[in-house]
Chain A
Amino acid sequence: MRGLPLRQLVDVYRAKFRAEIALQFAYRWALAIWLLGLLLQPIVYLVVWTTVARSQGGTVGGFSARDFAAYFTIFMVVNQLTFTWHYWEFEWRVRQGFFSPLLLRPIHPLHNDLAENVTFKLLTFTVVAPVAVLLLVTFNASLNPSPWQVLAFLPALVFAFALRFLLEWTLALAAFWLTRVTAINQAYYLAVVFLSGQMAPLELLPEAVQVIAAVLPFRWMVAFPVETVLGRLSPMEVAVGLAAQLIWIGLALGLLRFGWRAGVRRYSAVGA
C-alpha cells in the first residue's frame, strides 16, 4: 500500500468529508448529546479545583480560580481536537468482519479513520469553540498569551493530534490478537485521564507522576499545548516539548507500520 498519489488522497478525503457531513447531520441529536457530555467534564474539575483554591485563600500551587478556569477550558478544546475513538471500534470491526471491506480497497484503512476524525473535529469545533468562549467568560478565566505562545501553540496542537492519532491507532491494532480489548482500552483511557493533565494540571501532581507523564507520551498528547498557551512554559521548555513531540511521532509511526503489518498477517491467518 505505498505510492498513493497526493491528488488521490485529497480526493478521497473530500469524498469522505461529504459523506461524513451527511452522516453527522443524520445524527445531529446524538451529536448534540455527545457534545453536552464532553463539555461537562472540564466543568467538574474546574469546580473541584476552584473550591480547593477558594478554601486555601485564593490559590493552589500557583493556580488561582481564574487560572483553573483557563486551564480546564483550554484543556477541553485541545482534548476535543486531539482525541480519537477508533480504538474502541477495532474489536467490533475485527469480530464482525467489517475490516474485510476496508482491506479490499486499494487504500490504507488509516486514511478512512483519519478523514473521518478530521471531519468530525471540524464539525464539532463549530460548537466547541463558542462554548469555550462562553466558559472563559462565565468563569472569568485569566488567559492572556503572548504572540509567540499563540504561535507555538499551533504546531504543538497539530503535533499533539498527530501523536495521539498514531499511538491510539497503534493501540487499536491489539484487537487483531485479542478477542476482547475493551479492558485494555479502558485502562489506556484511564491513564490518559490521569497523565495527560485532564484531572489536574500536571504541576499539581506528585513529582514522580509528572516524570512518568513526561517520559511517556501522555503529556505531549494534550497537556503540553495547553501549558504553552497558558504561558506556563519558558521558550526553552516549549522548544524541548516540540522536540519531544516529534520524537514520539517518529516512534509512533515506526510502531504503527510494524504493528499494522503483523496485525494484517495475523488477521489473514486466523480468518477474516
Chain B
Amino acid sequence: MSGTPEQAIQVRELRKTYVVPEREGGLAAAARSLVRRRTREVPAVAGISFDVAPGEIVGFLGPNGAGKTTTLKVLSGLLHPTSGEVTALGHVPWQRETAFLRRMTLIMGQRNQLAWDIPVVDSFDLNRAIYQIPAAEYRERVKELVELLELEELLRKPVRNLSLGERMKCEVAGSLLHRPDVLFLDEPTIGLDVTMQRRIRNFIAHYTERTGATTLLTSHYMADVEALCRRVLVIHHGQLLYDGDLAGLVTRFSPHKTIVIDLEPSGPAVDGRIEALVGSPDWLVSHAEDRLTLRVPRSETAAVTTRLLANLQVADVIVEEPPIDEVIDLVFAAGPADAQAKDAR
C-alpha cells in the first residue's frame, strides 16, 4: 500500500531510538561513572508504517512505554526520528514549518499548555495573536466553545485555580481555537472522572465531525477509543501489531467466545453428561447451580451451542465476545512474536 498524496498522515518505517546513560545503584558505581559513562540504546519505536486518511479518527492502543507518545511527538514535530519517513499534511513535521504548526495541535493530558498563573481568557487571547485568528472569528469560536464546554465561569480564573477537569476543558478549547486540521491527543482524559471523560470525548467527536479534522488519539480508557475511533492501531514494544477496526481486533486476537447457559431449575441433573456434551473439559469455565459458563474456540461455537440446546433444558443462552479490555490484555500478553505467528495463520 503505497502512500498517496491524499493521505493526511503517512508514516514509513518510523524508528526512534533513545540513548540513555546506564546506571547502577550505589555510591561506588556512581563514582565510577564519573570517569566513564556507559550508555545504552533503547528503541522506543522500531519501524512502524501506516497511513491516515483525511478525517479519519484513529486510536492508538498499547501499554505504557509501547511507543505511542513517541510516535505522536514525532508526528507533531517535537521529536526527530532516528530513521524513517513521515509526512503530515504534506509537511515533514520536525522541520516545524509555520504553515504546518498552524494547522495542527497536540493535546497532552498530563501537560499544561495554558499559562499556569494567568486567567484562561488571556491565554486564549495570546493564542489568537499567535495563530493570527481574525478577531470576529475568534469571538465566535470562543463563544461556541464556552457554550459547548460550559466555560463561562472559568474564563476569568487563573489556570492554577481550576480543577483537573476544568483545566482539561480549557486546555482542549485553547488548543482548538485555531481550528487545526490535525489533532494529536495524548491521553486527553487521563485522571478525569467518568462524567468529565464523557464530556471531553463527546466534544472531540463533535469537533471532528464538524471540521473533518484528522485525529490520532491515545488513551488508557477503552471507552474513549470505542466511542471515537473506527480504526485502531495496536502498538507494542515499538512495533505495530494490528491496524484495522475494533471488531476485527477481537476476532483476530481472541480465538474464543464465551457461552453462558442458564438451565431450567426443574430440569434433570446434568452433572454426569456435562463434559461429554461440552466437548472438552478445558472449555468449561464454571458450573454453578443452574449456570454454565464456557469458553469455546470460535470455530466450535455453533456446534457446541446446538449440542447443548438439543440435550439440555435450557432457559437462556448468551454467546458473547470477550470484553475489549481483555482482548487488549491478551494481545499485549502474547507479544509481537505470537501476534505475528497469528498473522501467518
Binding site for B on A (CB under 8 A): 1-4, 8, 11-12, 14-16, 18-20, 22-23, 26-27, 97, 100-101, 103-107, 264-265, 268-272
Contacts and interface: CB of A to CB of B under 8 A. Distances in A.
A270 B42 CA distance: 11
Given A16-B129, A26-B118, A107-B130, 19 more contacts: A1-B98, A12-B126, A15-B130, A19-B115, A19-B123, A19-B126, A23-B117, A23-B118, A100-B106, A103-B96, A104-B106, A105-B101, A105-B130, A106-B101, A268-B79, A269-B80, A270-B18, A271-B73, A272-B79
Contacts of A97: 111
B173 to A, nearest CB: 15
Contacts of B126: 12, 15-16, 19
Interface string B100-140: 01100110100111010111001101101111100000000
Contact of B98 (A3, A16, A272): A3
Given A19-B123, A97-B111, A12 B77 contact: no
Interface in B262-303: none
Contacts, number: 87
Interface residues of B, number: 34
A16 B129 CA distance: 9
Nearest to B100: A106
Which of B77, B80, B102 counts the most A-chain CB atoms under 10 A from its CB?
Answer: B80
Overall SS of chain B's interface = mixed
B203 interface: no
A8 B117 CA distance: 24
Interface of B: 18-19, 70, 73, 76-80, 94, 96, 98, 101-102, 105-106, 108, 111-113, 115, 117-119, 122-123, 125-126, 128-132, 158
Given A19-B125, A22-B119, A269-B80, A100 B111 contact: yes
A163 B128 CA distance: 30
A1 B130 CA distance: 13
Given A104-B77, A265-B80, A22 B118 contact: yes
A104 B78 contact: yes
Contacts of B158: 26
A27 B98 contact: no
